[in-house]
Each structure stands twice: as structure tokens, then as C-alpha cells.
Amino acid sequence: MSKELKIENQLDTHLKQIKIGETATPIEISTEKIRMNKDLICVENIEVEGGFNLNSRQILFPDQIVLEASEAQGGLSLEATGFSILSALWTGTDGDSSNNDAVLTLFPSAGQDAKIVMYGNAALQWTIGNDNDDSDKLKFDVGTTTVGGATKMTLDDNGNLTLVGDLAVNGDDITTDGNMNLDSGGSLTLDAHDGNFIAKKAGTEFSSANSAYAGMILGYTHLTSTDNTEVYTLTTSFDVIDADGKVTFVAPPSGNVEIEFSVYRDSFSSNKIVYFSLSDNATYNLASAEIGDGSSSIELAFTLGFDNADETDDRYLTGKFVVCGLTAGTSYTYWLGAKISTTSGYLRWGSRTSTDPDRTYPPFIIKATALPANIHTQ
């Protein structure tokens, strides 16, 4: 038996409940509105030609996905595992899905920041934002929602990138189209763990193979005097010239070093041969080292003589020793030793003397210079 739909009194602007017979339905109607007081299930589409206003703050989707408005913060939250803008699937008014950009716009009020705030393990982690108070620089801040509050990385509108902390590069190259300047406010360290340092021009190495450090002075000693001339009396046995006549250095990656010395010889008498050597101790001990190809070890001494004055000639002598096979990164010290074939003779350095005020002796110098890994020997 059918029953009629009815409302109490006449239909007007006030909502009135629809009844079927005497049974009330969850539908209220007026000349201006329809209200559903219970759930509404639609099998097909709902078309809305005007505005769509929700008095509830939540829209519930299948799979427990929730879109919720927060009145206190003016925010809109989405409870889901992801949010996608699928522009490649949108045909739009022209029916073409191949010409669409995917755009996410952040449009803050004037003078305010546009930012994205990220959490991890329920704790604030990072904020990425445009700092309106600092020339609209893009900043990465840690542990704060304030852009510029704890900045670790900044990108300005000229493309300049500023980092707080270290830069780790897992690739092999850092390239630039223009000049590259390394400007450190402190130390500048080059640390190649394999010991290879290479200098190139347009991709071609011009440094000695893997040894761009070759020629670097590793240690330098300069001995002189501001009052009296220093003098060493040569004997017929090798001895260290002076306890300070040494050079200390750390061996380069090649393990190869050149030790060079310069000292003034006072011949005193003719036909006396002077010999030089290196000691590895302040108390004379003749040092030895590998030759360049690493095949054998030799004593670091000019045993056949270094200088023979045919008269009483005085001269400033310079000699070199090649020391190979050292352990890279290890500190070494060598002292200069000397002797003469027959007494007497002298080595001098320093300033003028009271007995000879017009004469100045040059300094006693000993230095260590890095050599490349590959040395031609015979």
C-alpha cells in the first residue's frame, strides 16, 4: 500500500522534515535548501553547479584517506601516503594531455615566506623556504620552521651556493664553464689518499706522472750569525758540521727527495780534497738510501771527493744528494757531514768578524725538495 510524502504546514523558507505517512525521514526541505540528517549514498555522479560548502571539516575517502581542514591554523591536511599532480593524464579543454606542465604554487602574503616543512619520527627536521627578509634567498634550515633560523645551505638569485659544513662529492669531477676560485678563510688542504697529484692542461697531464708536488720544498734550514762568523774545522774523518746543520721533512708520496746544501769553503792551503755526506743522526752515522729505480741501496756520501782547491781558492759550494725509497708521510731528518783529505781546511758561514770587518760569509743552507715518482737512473 503506497503512502504519500508530506511536510507539516506550507513549504516556505524554513526547513521542514519530510514524512512518509507518519514516519519521519532524515530529509528536510524548504524553498531554499535541502538538508540530509543522515548519510547520503550516491551510486552515480553528483553534479554541483554552484558552490560546494562543507560544515564538517573532514572529507572521508576509501582506504582511510582523510582530507581535513583546521580552522585554528587555516590549514588543510591530507592523511595519505602520497599526493600526485598527474598533468600527463589531464586532457583539459583541448583534449590534449601532452602539453601540460605540473605546477605546485606557494603564494604567501606580502612580506611573508613560502616554505615547505618536513618532519621525521614525529619531530621537526627541515624547512625549505624562500627568505623574504634576506633578498628572497632559498634556504635549508634544520630543526626550525623559521626560514633563516638555522640555515645550513643558501642559494641566491645569482646561483651562488653557500654551505655550512662539509661538501662530499661522490662523483669524479667538479666542472665550471668559467674560472674557479678556491678562497678559504682558513687552511686549504689537498688530500689524495692514493698519493697521486696531477696537473693538467685541457685534459693532458703536464706534471711528472702523478707527481704535481715535485719541486715542492719540504724542509729548509738557513744558518747565519749576527755577530761572529761560525766556523767548522775540517778533519780527516766524517763528522756532523753543526748540530743545527740539518733538514727535517715529511716524505712525499713518491718517497723520493733531493737534499741540497750550500756552504762556504775556506781552503786555507792548496790541493786539499773536501768530502760531504749525509748523516741520519746528530752523532755522525752515515746514511744510505735506495737509488731512483729502487733496485739497490747506496751510501749517501761523495767518497771520491767533492771539491779540490788547486791553490788556496775559497768558494761557495753547492751539492745535492738524491734520497729514494722513503716511506711517504714519515718524518725524516738528515745532517750534513764533511771531512778533508789532509788537514787543514774550514767551512764558514755568518756575518763579518772583528778581524776582517769587510768580509761577509754566505749562509749555510740545507733543504729538501720533493722529487717525482718516476726518476730516470742508470
Pairing between strand 34-36 and 23-29? antiparallel
The one-letter amino acid code at 154 reads T
**pLDDT surpassing 70 at residue 356:** no
In the prediction, which pLDDT does 309 show? 79
38-54 average pLDDT score: 81
Q: Grade residue 359 by pLDDT with cuts at 50, 70 and 90.
A: confident
Domain residue spans of the chain: 1-42, 114-163, 217-370
Is-contact 249 218, C-beta < 8 A?
yes
Burial class (CB in 10 A: 0-12, 13-18, 19+), 224: middle
Beta bridge partners of 273: 308
* pLDDT: which is higher, 185 or 372: 372
Lowest mean pLDDT among 94-98, 131-135, 203-207, 350-354: 350-354
Q: Which of 312, 303, 319 is nearest to 345 (CA)?
A: 312
In the prediction, which pLDDT does 293 show? 66
Which one is the CATH code of 217-370: 2.40.50, 2.40.128, 1.10.620, 2.60.120? 2.60.120
Give the residue ranges of DSSP H helices in 134-214.
none
Q: Does the pTM exceed 0.75?
A: no
Is-contact 368 211, C-beta < 8 A?
no
Residues 6+ apart with CB under 8 A from 132: 108, 111, 112, 113, 147
286-307 average pLDDT score: 84
